[in-house]
Chains A and B, each alone.
Chain A
């Protein structure tokens, strides 16, 4: 494993993944995963199918209970014990959007703030409209998810996550379920967010996004972190044979 290169700015840790291990029955999916997410980081996780990338993200917001090791959410000890508290601070954007089919775009975005943050109706709606405008979906407030294209759904899903004011946002292959012509609109929203300083942990197969937007890239294979570093280090000068093989294939 190569050294972690510290970001240029003074690093302020937000989330620490410490010696994380996960097994499903006999099957070990993650082994001794150890890394720190600093404020403002955009970390891309790449790796072959089945290497445990989704499982890692699901452990980070406690959808899966780690078998060993732990997730430390810095600055709030309670949050690490309580999944619901943690998830208010660590948002998630899914491959299949998971928008609520029974609610329109606006109410998809206001449900979390109203029920979880106990925000008032008008306040929540103002907030939702602000983030929907940021992702270019503010003219679709009344649409139901099934009336939207894939790219539009994913942009709404991103706005929905932003409404909770997360300190870290996790993305699990946010563009993998999209038709090629819609990938761009979602990636450009994500680049904007990165530029605004949102801390993001992104599992992706979009190598250009990883190269241009991330400040750190983690390559995983077979449940371990094989190599991590800046995009230049990983893409231009990979140290490990497995990384080279993977990059030459994709």
Chain B
């Protein structure tokens, strides 16, 4: 195994690089897609008849997107999109790297849309009412009050999607994308060391996913901020009594 690692270290690192590239970009773009769809689907229903129709139509299209991409394997989606594009363009295939990024992004987007929507719905209605009571618009409320809380709440699910993406990019080998699994297959054809190669690759995958999980857990803790706060101007007697009150809580 050490020998394989030594000989193919460059190929393996390239594989790791592509795997992480797709996982990172796929997750970030997927989250962005998810936020856009989540925000759209939770818009209040307009009163105007025509606007209502378009909103409904949009909901339907987005619903179909989510269901289709969640309901079919990513490996199949990759083949359909890659070869479908080739068929429509007289055999001219899409750039493999771009295809990989595209497929993982829209696939992740479908999952993220539901995660974000759930996150938005789970923020207490009182938060929205508090903002509306100040005269904030729906958009202002969404971006200043609801989304920050929703995103914090869904961070564990987003991390989960990220880890899934690191592993699932392996299916992109079907379109010849040189991620880690593709590299492994390549090494096997040269060394015939099937077990050792795949065990090595399994360890590399685990280091990636475990490392990322730890990193994201740290991010969560950072985002929660300090557990205590600084009391200002506690010279003043009044503030002191309030401080005592806070301690007693």
Contact = CB atoms under 8 A, between A and B. Distances in A.
A96 interface: yes
Interface string B32-44: 0000000000000
Contacts of A91: 133-134
Interface string A138-182: 111111100111001000010011001000000000000000000
A86 to B, nearest CB: 8
B135 A164 contact: yes
Contacts of A186: none
Interface stretch (A18-26, A42-50, A110-118, A228-236): A110-118
B225 A139 contact: no
Contacts of A96: 126
Interface stretch (A8-16, A31-39, A67-75, A99-107): A99-107
Please classify the interface of chain B as helix (H, G, I), strand (E, B), loop, or mixed, using the class held by over half of its residues.
Answer: helix
Contacts of B152: 102
A124 interface: no
Interface in A90-139: 91-92, 94, 96-104, 111-112, 115-116, 136-139
A125 to B, nearest CB: 13
Interface string A206-222: 00000000000000000
Contacts of B230: 142
Contacts of B133: 61, 63, 87, 91-92, 94, 98, 161
Contacts of A140: 229, 231-232, 242
Nearest to B133: A92
A15 B234 CA distance: 41
A99 B228 CA distance: 18
A244 interface: no
Nearest to B151: A102
B238 A142 contact: no
Contacts of B126: 94, 96-98
A155 B136 CA distance: 21
Given A63-B132, A115-B144, 8 more contacts: A84-B137, A91-B134, A102-B145, A103-B145, A111-B136, A137-B242, A149-B245, A157-B130
12 contacts: A84-B137, A88-B135, A100-B130, A101-B149, A102-B152, A111-B136, A112-B134, A112-B135, A139-B234, A144-B225, A152-B242, A161-B134
Interface of A: 61, 63, 83-85, 87-88, 91-92, 94, 96-104, 111-112, 115-116, 136-144, 147-149, 152, 157, 160-161, 164
Across the A-B interface, give the 9 residue pairs with the lowest CB-CB distance, nearest first. Answer: A98-B130, A112-B134, A139-B239, A98-B126, A88-B135, A92-B133, A143-B229, A116-B135, A87-B135
